[in-house]
Amino acid sequence: MTKMTVTALHLEPRHFVPNNARLPALIYEGAFDANAADLATLMEKRFRENGWPPQWRDGIYDFDHYHSQGHEVLGIAAGSATIILGGTGGREIEVRTGDVLVLPAGTGHRRISQSEDFLVVGAYPPGQAGDIVREDATPAMLQKIALLSFPPRDPVVGDDGPLLRLWVDVTVA
């Protein structure tokens, strides 16, 4: 079992990126054993079991964008990369095999550099999608981002995960 460290980042709006006024981006360092066999499949299985069905395997775009229609979990299944969270001038972070990012809707992200073997598993809550937005959010988009629900389980840990402590009072009854 690996030792996991979770960091919550509260990101302010930057340029066209709204980020999320209520929910922090979560960085799970060492969420999975980097030496596990077929880590991408293991991540997909765990995300699915915890209510975040996997949607794709690929990388992270090299341009600032955000999603207005879904929260996103990104599992680093292989390699490493430097990314920016929050849009231009945001937080530069290093991710590597076994790390996971949970990005609330509206959170800007972009890849700066990556290793040749970089592979990401992407997942969203049921009924949500990773639309690619590269422009200012409309008032209607901002309202949708603010009210977007999320599954009752942390995508990595499940019932007792850090998301449940760090994303509070955000569901709409």
Burial (CB < 10 A; 0-12, 13-18, 19+), residue 77, is: buried
Report how far residue 119's alpha carbon sits from residue 70's, in angstroms, rounded to the nearest whole number: 21
Dump pLDDT digits (tens) for 142-169: 999 999 998 889 999 999 899 999 997 5
The pTM score is 0.94
Q: Are 14 and 89 in contact (CB under 8 A)?
A: yes
Domain boundaries, the chain: 5-166
Segment among 54-63, 92-101, 147-156 with least mean pLDDT = 147-156
Instruction: List pLDDT tens digits, range 61-92.
Output: 999 999 999 999 999 999 999 999 999 999 99
Instruction: Indicate if the pLDDT at residue 172 is higher than 90.
Output: no
Torsion over CA: 79, 93, 139, 63 (sign): negative
5-166 maps to which CATH number? 2.60.120.10
| pLDDT of 173 above 50 | no
Distances (CA, A) of 9 to 23, 84, 126: 9, 12, 24
Residues 6+ apart with CB under 8 A from 60: 74, 81, 83, 109, 110, 111, 114, 120
State pLDDT tens for residues 109-132: 999 999 999 999 999 999 999 999
Q: Which of helix, strand or coil describes residue 132?
A: coil
Largest CA distance in the chain: 45
d(CA 11, CA 39): 29
pLDDT score of 170 more than 50:
no
